[in-house]
Structure 1
Amino acid sequence: MTVSDLETEALDFVRALIRIDSVNTGDPATIGDGETRAALFVQERLREVGYETHLVEPWPGRASVVARLPGSDPDAGALVAHAHLDVVPVEATDWTHPPFGAEIHDGMLYGRGAVDMKDFAGMLLAIARAFRRDGIVPRRDLIFAFFADEEAGGVWGARWIVQNRPELFAGATEAISEVGGFSLPLPGDRRAYLVATAEKGVTTATLTARGHAAHGSRPTDDNAVVRLARAVVAIGEHRFPLVRTATSERFLEVYGRASGQPFDGDDLDVDLQRLGFAASVIGAGTRNTASPTVLTAGGKANVIPAAASATLDVRVLPGQGEAVRAQLAEVVGDDIAVAWARDIPAIESPVDAPLLDVLQDAITAEDPDGTVVPYLLPASTDNKHLARLGIRGYGFVPLRVPADFDVFGQFHAADERVPVDAVYFGARVTARILRDA
Structure 2
Amino acid sequence: MATTTGDPRTPTAPAPAGADHPTAQDEVARICQDLLRIDTSNYGDGSGPGERAAAEYVMASLTEVGLDPEIFESAPGRASVVVRLPGVDATREALVLHGHTDVVPAAADDWSVDPFGGEEIDGLLWGRGAVDMKDMDAMILAVVRQMTREGRRPARDVVVAFFADEEAGGRYGARYAVDHRPDLFEGATEAISEVGGFSVEVGGHRAYLLQTAEKGIGWLRLVADGRAGHGSQVNHENAVTHLAAAVARIGAHPWPLQLTPTVHALLTGVADLTGLPFDPEDEQSVDRLVHALGPAARFVGATTRNTANPTQLSAGYKANVIPGSAEAVIDTRFLPGFEDEARAVLERLAGEHVRIEDVHRDVALEAPFSGGLVDAMVAALRVEDPAASVLPYTLSGGTDNKSLARLGIRGYGFAPLQLPTSLDFSAMFHGVDERVPVESLRFGVRVLDRLLATC
With normalisation by structure 2, the TM-score equals: 0.91
Q: Which runs of 5+ in 2 are unaligned?
A: 1-21
Equivalent residues of 1:23, 1:31 under 8 A apart: yes
Offset of residue 92 of structure 1: 1.0
| CA deviation vs aligned residue, 1:220-273 (integer Å, no higher than 9, x gap) | 233221222122111111121121212112212223223333423722234422
- What secondary structure, in the 3-state scheme, does the structure 2 residue paired with 1:66 have? strand
| CA deviation vs aligned residue, 1:8-40 (integer Å, no higher than 9, x gap) | 211111111111111122222x2225x111111
Instruction: Report the RMSD for the aligned CA atoms in angstroms.
Output: 1.6
Structure 2 residue 213 is the aligned partner of structure 1 residue 198: yes
Structure 2 residue 344 is the aligned partner of structure 1 residue 329: no
User: Match for 2:257 among 226, 235, 242?
Assistant: 242
Within a 5 Å distance, the mapping from 1:320-399 to structure 2 comes to 320-399=338-417
Offset of residue 186 of structure 1: 2.2
Offset of residue 282 of structure 1: 0.5
Report the AA paired with residue 133 of structure 1. R
Look up the match of 1:220.
235
User: Match for 1:104 among 98, 108, 120?
Assistant: 120
Q: Distance in 2 between matches of 1:77 and 1:258?
A: 35
Q: Distance in 2 between matches of 1:327 and 1:342?
A: 18
**Higher deviation after alignment, 210-219 or 109-118:** 210-219
Specify whether residues 340 and 58 from structure 1 end up closer, same or farther in structure 2 by C-alpha distance, changes over 3 A only. closer
Q: Percent identity?
A: 50
Look up the match of 1:421.
439
Equivalent residues of 1:231, 1:331 under 8 A apart: yes
Offset of residue 347 of structure 1: 1.4
Look up the match of 1:81.
97
Offset of residue 42 of structure 1: 1.1
Q: Distance in 2 between matches of 1:319 and 1:59?
A: 34
Look up the match of 1:286.
304
Look up the match of 1:210.
225
Specify whether residues 403 and 262 from structure 1 end up closer, same or farther in structure 2 by C-alpha distance, changes over 3 A only. farther
Within a 5 Å distance, the mapping from 1:88-99 to structure 2 comes to 88-99=104-115
Q: Distance in 2 between matches of 1:411 and 1:328?
A: 28
Offset of residue 394 of structure 1: 0.3
Offset of residue 341 of structure 1: 4.3
Equivalent residues of 1:212, 1:306 under 8 A apart: yes
| CA deviation vs aligned residue, 1:178-233 (integer Å, no higher than 9, x gap) | 11111110233x21111111111111222233332221112323322122212211
Structure 2 residue 295 is the aligned partner of structure 1 residue 277: yes
**Higher deviation after alignment, 75-84 or 214-223:** 214-223
Look up the match of 1:157.
173
| CA deviation vs aligned residue, 1:326-360 (integer Å, no higher than 9, x gap) | 11122233333233342211111122222111111
| CA deviation vs aligned residue, 1:267-286 (integer Å, no higher than 9, x gap) | 22344222222223212111
Q: Distance in 1 between matches of 2:353 and 2:74?
A: 44
- What secondary structure, in the 3-state scheme, does the structure 2 residue paired with 1:144 have? strand
**Higher deviation after alignment, 144-153 or 265-274:** 265-274
Within a 5 Å distance, the mapping from 1:286-305 to structure 2 comes to 286-305=304-323
| CA deviation vs aligned residue, 1:405-432 (integer Å, no higher than 9, x gap) | 2221111112110111111111111111
Equivalent residues of 1:359, 1:372 under 8 A apart: no
Report the AA paired with residue 99 of structure 1. P
Report the AA paired with residue 213 of structure 1. A
Stretches of 4+ aligned residues off by more than 6 angstroms: none
User: Match for 2:48 among 31, 39, 45?
Assistant: 31
| CA deviation vs aligned residue, 1:124-154 (integer Å, no higher than 9, x gap) | 0111011111122221111111111111111
User: Match for 2:60 among 24, 33, 44?
Assistant: 44
* Equivalences, count: 431
Equivalent residues of 2:41, 2:105 under 8 A apart: yes
- What secondary structure, in the 3-state scheme, does the structure 2 residue paired with 1:80 have? strand
Look up the match of 1:401.
419
Look up the match of 2:8.
none
Q: Which runs of 5+ in 1 are unaligned?
A: none
Look up the match of 1:5.
23
- What secondary structure, in the 3-state scheme, does the structure 1 residue paired with 2:59 have? helix
With normalisation by structure 1, the TM-score equals: 0.95
Equivalent residues of 2:87, 2:154 under 8 A apart: yes
